[in-house]
Structure 1
């Protein structure tokens, strides 16, 4: 079935947290967290056909950005060309998803496609935030539920697919000057992302030399950001602030 909004008021959160969907989603996030624990991005891992197809999908989204340049407008933020870019995804999402999932699960494409479309920002507000990022994790979780991805894909999901998703979202944010959705200000490490700090911190478990106190050292960040998602996010934040 095509998903619809079920959380509108605070009490709805209790229903969500008691649901099987919540258990599946949290289990997925924690399984990936366990999978990357103590591992660098250069760690060897298998790259399945579905992972390759996901990378192709993200490459398509990236290419559409190049094909849809920002328009001249009086407002500094929220470039309206984003809506043109988003309309391409809106039209093609089900076809893109159908190419990822087993043929006998094709009926699930309309359901899964909603999470893909929700993962790239809001075309009305032209903003992007952690809720959209959470939708991308739900999209990946759905691919696991229908058997397109499996336990052997855990490292590739984080290190290849999610990392590539981050780069495409950063390009979207910069190209179309997207507003942060629901920014937490000083309470958030990043206005746009949250999951890379969960999975990224797991990479540092039992690290022999690097500790959180080192992460404010620009030299350390620059030296290690290609191996650690957490540090790559810090580097990006520093670049944006400059």
Structure 2
């Protein structure tokens, strides 16, 4: 996505899009969220839906809030303000985010009530189903205890309907922690938690927060990062399988958004009225290449979400980093800074999460994240990337050109370049002109020295 300039004709400052907040004085009909993406071609309809538009708007809103800021101190000097794990956004958030922290802490405590079954297991531990049952049985009481009453009873004065705001919130919250049937967790579940936060935003749960991005930073650092900690404990405790994993050719087996928000934390600083930078890094932040060095990762994971996510990969995988995570290794060779990486992560999130049937097939649609067509959506453009969607009913691949790419305003220039035969990607997917497959580094015995960052990354990352 190409960020807009900070001014429009007439020198008027641009208004950066934010997720809408519903007007409580207007009637609203809630809908029990339901699955709508049942076959590969249904992804095309999703890419023109209001839900897709709102997800993209919310991600970009949170992403921009994490970018460092140029601010003026009391003496009139310009200083740089950064936003890190463990900062006030996490330790002293506004009341709505603090309540969500407490709710996540309670959900985390359920693990102690459902210890894993003993004995070695190749796949997920069945005790995860016991944990999930506890969550299912208690989800309503969790909402009653930690959610503002006006949010849960939103629209209760209007005509009676079968569904309520709580019904929509429950569906996304329950979908945020993995599948009790498949004993797995992946980016589709992470997307469900994002939708849960988006529902709360739309219902006005965060209107009492501070302006200038502080509310969004409360959500990312104060809520989303603690959510990831709960999920990571679930994965380790119950040995949850990756959901819809691409193996080594995927960015990450379980999560995606920490790479978006974490790279935003390290981009060059902007003023409050400036758009998101497309290249450059904050002065003296870790170089991208350091993600392949475990000692640096261990130190930086305490402060940065990108490094925290890579640290978790190191917790669950062994062997050279370039061998088990070649996509992240390729990205570490980008020379134009964290702004370039962040831009690429937005593109890749659109392509690898929102545009992939295996990921979005389980997403449910209600009134807050609606399946209805976005009246402002352009007709999606044909795309080789999206043409390769599986048909659930036939088990076959649709013909090229049968599905389409995305043309949503928030995702301009986010379609992936055509990939070569074999694996979907072998270089950072936003590197222009890299359309053919590039082989991974030669396999070396575990424990040997990691090969240097590839020289071909230099100059090819535009």
SS of structure 2 residue aligned to 1:95: helix
Which structure has more helix as a fraction of its residues? 1
- What residue in structure 2 maps to residue 142 of structure 1? 199
Work out the CA distance in 2 between the residues paired with 1:82 and 1:60.
16
> What is the TM-score when the length of structure 2 is the normalising length?
0.50
Select the residue among 215, 218, 223 that pairs with 2:294: 218
Structure 1 137/64 Cα, relative in aligned 2: closer, same or farther at 3 Å? Answer: same
Q: Is the 8 A contact 2:186 2:253 kept in 1?
A: yes
- What residue in structure 2 maps to residue 119 of structure 1? 176
Q: After the TM superposition, which of the residue ranges 100-109 and 193-202 deviates more from structure 2?
A: 100-109
Say whether 1:40 aligns with 2:83.
yes
Work out the CA distance in 1 between the residues paired with 2:244 and 2:189.
11
Q: Is the 8 A contact 1:120 1:128 kept in 2?
A: yes
- What residue in structure 2 maps to residue 167 of structure 1? 229
Map residues 17-36 of structure 1 onto 2, 5 A cutoff: 17-36=47-66
Q: Which has the larger radius of gyration?
A: 2
Map residues 199-210 of structure 1 onto 2, 5 A cutoff: 199-206=261-268, 207-209=282-284, 210=286
Q: Is there any run of 5+ residues in structure 2 with no aligned partner, and where?
A: 1-30, 69-81, 154-163, 208-212, 269-281, 319-462
Pairs aligned (count): 242
Work out the CA distance in 2 between the residues paired with 1:105 and 1:92.
16
- What residue in structure 2 maps to residue 88 of structure 1? 134
Select the residue among 131, 138, 143 that pairs with 1:97: 143
User: Structure 1 runs of 4+ off > 4 angstroms?
Assistant: none
> What is the TM-score when the length of structure 1 is the normalising length?
0.93
Say whether 1:57 aligns with 2:133.
no
RMSD, aligned α-carbons: 1.8
Q: Is the 8 A contact 1:101 1:147 kept in 2?
A: no
Deviation at 1:138, TM superposition (A): 0.5
Q: Is the 8 A contact 2:187 2:243 kept in 1?
A: yes
